[in-house]
């Protein structure tokens, strides 16, 4: 977790310095650590949608993410995926919400990443994780003929990796292309255009060991 130091009264200014990318599918999930769920269907997972959402996860009901700030009831934290190539979860905690991050009282503004833990007012522990979708497939039509930034050769209709951060396509040809296949996506750990990590396998970035598991 990183703490964001905001100057006095700088709420709005700080928002402007963060890149919000609500138009891109964001991979964050909150996994609810509560007893009795490890067997049947696994733990509850809350997918964090694009844009701002509001988290209620105190003792009075099951954790939920709301599209609007609740008018009444227990206090809610605002949550938003921010940051572009290496997204993080921005967590805004109202003073009366008794929020803990990784066991410590949360600052009013915090940036969470995979493996961080959040707890609201006596509710269950929520583990932050991310799901990487499989992004290897046929060259998208709008990328055919563009230059692969790794090898500089134009992309034909082949198999490519598409960066989730910026949409750049990198060669990721498979065995049937023979020994001369271009595997540019395997040669780099980050996107040459936007520096987002290259993740070739679909799957969870992290799955917590649940107390009940």
Q: Is 158 in the site for Zn ion (CB under 5 A)?
A: no
Q: Is 165 in the site for Zn ion (CB under 5 A)?
A: yes
C-beta of residue 21 within 8 angstroms of C-beta of residue 49: no
Task: Give CA–CA dist 42/104, Å, rounded.
Answer: 27
Q: Is 199 in the site for Zn ion (CB under 5 A)?
A: no
Q: Extract the tokens encoding 198.
A: 């290259």
Q: To the nearest whole angstrom, how small is the minimum distance from the Cβ of residue 189 to Zn ion?
A: 12
C-beta of residue 159 within 8 angstroms of C-beta of residue 138: yes
Q: Is 163 in the site for Zn ion (CB under 5 A)?
A: yes
Q: Is 150 in the site for Zn ion (CB under 5 A)?
A: yes
C-beta of residue 64 within 8 angstroms of C-beta of residue 126: no
Q: To the nearest whole angstrom, how small is the minimum distance from the Cβ of residue 182 to Zn ion?
A: 5
Q: To the nearest whole angstrom, how small is the minimum distance from the Cβ of residue 142 to Zn ion?
A: 15
| Residue with smaller CB distance to Zn ion, 37 or 193 | 193
Provide the 3-class DSSP secondary structure of residue 171: strand
Provide the 3-class DSSP secondary structure of residue 7: coil
Q: To the nearest whole angstrom, how small is the minimum distance from the Cβ of residue 144 to Zn ion?
A: 13
Q: Is 171 in the site for Zn ion (CB under 5 A)?
A: yes
Measured CA angle at 24 (ends 48, 21), to 5 deg: 85
Q: Is 193 in the site for Zn ion (CB under 5 A)?
A: yes
Q: Is 185 in the site for Zn ion (CB under 5 A)?
A: no
C-beta of residue 50 within 8 angstroms of C-beta of residue 24: yes
Q: Is 151 in the site for Zn ion (CB under 5 A)?
A: yes
Q: Is 148 in the site for Zn ion (CB under 5 A)?
A: yes
Nearest CA among 152, 108, 139, 129 for reference residue 6: 108
Segment contacting Zn ion (CB under 5 A): 68-76, 88-96, 102-110, 188-196? 188-196
Task: Give CA–CA dist 147/173, Å, rounded.
Answer: 15
Q: Is 24 in the site for Zn ion (CB under 5 A)?
A: no
Chain residues in the site for Zn ion (CB under 5 A): 148, 150-151, 163, 165-166, 168, 171, 182, 184, 191, 193-194, 196
């Amino acid at each position: 977790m990183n703490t964001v130091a905001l100057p006095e009264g700088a709420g709005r200014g700080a928002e402007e310095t963060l890149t919000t990318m609500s138009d891109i599918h964001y991979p964050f999930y909150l996994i609810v650590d509560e007893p009795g769920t490890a067997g049947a269907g696994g733990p509850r997972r809350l997918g964090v949608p694009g844009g701002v959402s509001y988290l209620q996860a105190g003792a009075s009901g099951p954790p939920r993410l709301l599209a609007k700030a609740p008018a009444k009831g227990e206090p809610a934290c605002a949550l938003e995926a921010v940051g572009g190539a290496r997204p993080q979860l921005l967590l805004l905690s109202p003073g009366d919400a008794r929020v803990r991050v990784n066991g410590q009282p949360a600052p009013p503004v915090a940036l969470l990443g995979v493996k961080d833990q959040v707890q609201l007012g006596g509710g269950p522990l929520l583990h932050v994780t991310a799901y990487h979708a499989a992004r290897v497939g046929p060259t998208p039509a709008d990328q055919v003929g563009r230059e692969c930034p790794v090898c500089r050769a134009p992309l034909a209709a082949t198999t490519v990796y598409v960066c989730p951060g910026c949409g750049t396509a990198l060669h990721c040809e498979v065995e049937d292309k023979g020994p001369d296949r271009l595997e540019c996506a395997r040669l780099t750990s980050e996107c040459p255009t936007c520096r987002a990590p290259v993740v070739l396998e679909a799957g969870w970035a992290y799955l917590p060991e649940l107390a009940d598991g």
